[in-house]
A and B are shown apart, each in its own frame.
Chain A
Amino acid sequence: MAETREKSHKPKPRVRPIVRLGIFLVSHSFLVSVVCCTSGVLALFLLPVLAKNTYISENALMPGSASPMLSNQHVLDGNRLVKDLTNSNLKSSETGIESHKIIAQYMLDLGAEVSFHKFHPQMNQFHPLHFFSSPDSGKIQENYSCSSYGINTVGVIRAPRGDGKEAIVLVTPYNALKSGFGEALSLGIAYSVFSLLTQVTWLAKDIIWLVADSQFGEYAAVSAWLREYQTPKFSSLSTLNSEMCPDINNLFEIKVHSVAGSKFSNSFRRAGTMAAALVLKVRDQGEQFEDTISIYAEASNGQMPNLDLINVVNYLAVHRQGLRVNVEKLRSLLNSSWLKSLGEIFESLAKVAKTLNPKCKFGIPATEYVEGTATLASSLYYQALGVPTGPHGAFRDYQVDAITLEISPKFSLDKVWRNDILLRGGRLIEGVIRSVNNLLEKFHQSFFLYLLTSPSKFVSVGVYMIAFALLIAPLPMVAASLYVDANSSSNFLKGDSSTPSAVTDAAEHGITIRSWKWLNSAKLVFIVHLWGAIVSLLPYFICQIPDCSPTTSFVIWVLLSILSLLILNSVLASPLACVKASQEKEWALVKSVTISSVFIGLGLMSVINFATAEIGALVMVPMCLLAQPLKLDVRAGTLRSCCRIICNLVLGHIAFPPAAFFLLKGMLDGFGSANVGDFWMWVESLWAWNSATYLFIGMVQLPCWVLCVSILFHSC
């Protein structure tokens, strides 16, 4: 845009260097965009090589500096609980109340404060603007039934040295109705740690042990408890509750009488603000080779806990307890040969670099590269989905750092191995709690924005943003060059302003709105984006139609979307028709404005959820950059335009969100099982979790696709 002026006053002797650079980049925008996009994709594949080793950033954590205090006595205690729970399971499996009673009894015996927390599972609701608002206390549901409720058992240890203003949370999901042995074992581990912590003197933060009733899902229980903890409801619901459901209350009454003089309370117990939370799970089926611990960290919208928390767990598990630490990876990538050869190329490149400069510590072995890429891909995938990978996700909504630890023991769980797992798992948890206990402030030293390539390696925001920035850098340049072209071509048509006879022309020109010509295109882009917003809101109404199968819902959605596009088209001055209006270079302006809007959308999304933006950019950037009316290309008939036609057609098909979904699904599960309703189900899960990815697809990608397609079929 600066360039128009500079071009029209060419004889001007001096141009500022920055403007000259801008002109240079814009005039070579094709080359620049090819180079930038390629290097952006390449940088993405380089990320596993560029990953740094993790380090403990916060000094106060001091993991592993104290020797573990968890002894066999505590392990025996834990074992006792496991035994009792598995027995009670056999006795009265229908209510599940019994096992909660047992847990509460065990907690009380240790001298902890115990309370029950009743909750009703919340229906999944659609909050389109949830992302921008603070966590709310939830809608009070009027019509709940007394039969469907869950009970969380909560035990609190008050720290002897603390002021009661901070707390550490330990969560063990437990389904009393059909608990596997693993769940009981996780309770055993938590109990052994809990029993140790009642005795220690170093505790400076309160400990909350939440036994989350997972019959409605682990996440629902934890989030219900957290909501009650953080945003108490000052309503008459609890009294209403007890009035309407006497049977629930009775059970608690019995409980209270049975342990007279204890610290049991019927009200909700709180400790201080949460410093960190650990969710502990034990898998029923064991691994084959060694004891493994898997870390799940992704919360909603790709938020991660502070890297220090993962570091502490990783350090203690590997260096103190001899557990293998695992993070999720995409298995299908592990065997891919092209990735292996890419890794080998990087490895050989690193060798060359090392011969040139011995100090250069660049490059990793090919196998490690493949593994790192698989981990990175899964890290990107789960962050992009925006759906939390476990109950720890609920904590992140309240700015509490939390991770889920899943222990998969080596052998079938006979007695000796069980004790070993109890001891090692317990010591790990103890060590983590002890480290967190040392914290003076909340986690802030280390990274929040990172991608893991292995449990001990990470890519920080400063590195992965480079790949993304390279990928989207061509967008503004191409937009500028298109804009300049469209303006200068019309200038050329109407005459140059150098001859005196043309002066009047130029003046006339000046009084018409010349540099505001793009407003028409902007209107079109705006209308399509408005349509995108309407499309993203439609499911809210569709899902209220009773008895609707996913397939019919999807069909209704598509029909309504098309209908709304037509209505908008006709009401707001026929936006699609105005494309073919007077201007010759109209499509260039439309493309320019489209690219600008995509640039804004991608930039915005990269701040909200980087992974979504990165994956979206991989599809949308080529599509936007290549879009050109098919007619022009057909007319040109050169090799280059043929290539462009093919690319455009392929991208035009791939970039349509449902098509992209089915393609991915087909690649992963095989095309036979694909069903039209699947997309609806996937979308439903996205908005049930308030994923920003849903808004991104509806309000950035879909409008961009529509605009690109309208450019392709532009009649010029």
Chain B
Amino acid sequence: MSSEQKELTQTPLLKIWVPWMSNSLSQRRGSSRPQFTNCPTMIVMVGLPARGKTYISKKLTRYLNWIGVTTQVFNLGQYRREVVQTYKNYEFFRPDNEEAMKIRRACASSALKDIANYFDKEQGQVAVFDATNTTRDRRGVIISFAKEKGYKVFFIESICDDPEIIEANIMQVKLSSPDYENYDKEEALVDFLNRIDCYKMSYVSLDEEKDRHLSFIKIFNVGSRYLVNRVQDHIQSRIVYYLMNIHVTPRSIYLSRHGESELNLLGRIGGDSGLSSQGQKYARALSEFIRGQSIKDLKVWTSHMRRTIQTAEALGVPYEQWKALNEIDAGVCEEMTYEEIQATHPEEFALRDQDKYRYRYPKGESYEDLVHRLEPVIMELERQENVLVICHQAVMRCLLAYFLDKSADDLPYLKCPLHTVLKLTPLAYGCKVESFYLNVQAVNTHRDKPNNVNIARKPEEALRTVPEHL
């Protein structure tokens, strides 16, 4: 069987080679996206209240979206709050409360319907069903539903019997829940503990024997032990790896760019130049700042580029160089000014403004490529505790987007100015951000998206948002 060899053409935005087809709607054989899974996956949380299910759901969803797997959380508690406008007390959760049981079952059905809609109509790839799902019955319903629709199911069960951890959980995230707006702290704690008791009687954990045909991970005591059963495919394997690397030990991550560089001053992108005198000043200021923070066991990471290493050298502490932290490769545009790019590659310049996340420089990279490159860095950041990452503008945007759950559209326009340290501290379900400008002047390197992104635009329209430089 011979197939006629079609000519290949390179898509202008992504720089992907595809067969040239006059019918643009015909299916391409070559997929340029990694095939994480070939059918939608339902991740089903299991566990008593205050076991970190929502924490895991949100964090996992953030991670999956960041690596390009469209994921959404479906939190049953929220469905319940929409139906039962005001929460009275734990009696709602009593197993003998028939009326409440009806409502809760209805909410579950509603959530499952939304999940089906997410997969079928919205091209979602992964749905995280965040609820207690503590009975075999309830899990049976979910499994049947998934089987009927052709979805894969992966269970994540969180088991914890350490009363200190549970109480800390409750303090961190439950007391501030809409349910407890009108309670004082003490009462809320008591009520919530009663709520947990309501579930305990009927709680049936995933069983090594009875559930041996299911795919699941059981997490014991916030990660000291894991039981993993029947991982089916790539995405489940990645999920397991991620879950086994995250922790809840308090710590902070400091993100900063290198000090101002010689090329920064000239308004040129990329390259491998050294620090300007202001940049050197920043490096010294950074050293003082870090010392002032009195951080325990701080790890310092840089890229392989001169400007980040020079910056780290000023700290006088050991640091690790990561090639993966190198700035985005601008290919043929390396070391050019925006004005030069407009002059020599006006079409490329316009394409970049049209879709800055996916746009790949000729012989270079895209933000999308960068995210892929940075995934091992994120994984190691999750494992570590206190870390200072000295990197570059595009790289910092990608890392920040991961921690602050920014979309692919927002990511390339996140503000990461020179000489400013961002301190990220995990808090409740998210991340607290503190911004420290170290009071050393630097050029602005942030170019906003211009109004006109059309290929036919005039140079002035393209260059309107270019920041000043020498």
Whether both chains belong to one complex is answered with no
Write the residues of chain B forming the contact surface with A, with a CB cutoff of 8 angstroms. none
Write the residues of chain A forming the contact surface with B, with a CB cutoff of 8 angstroms. none
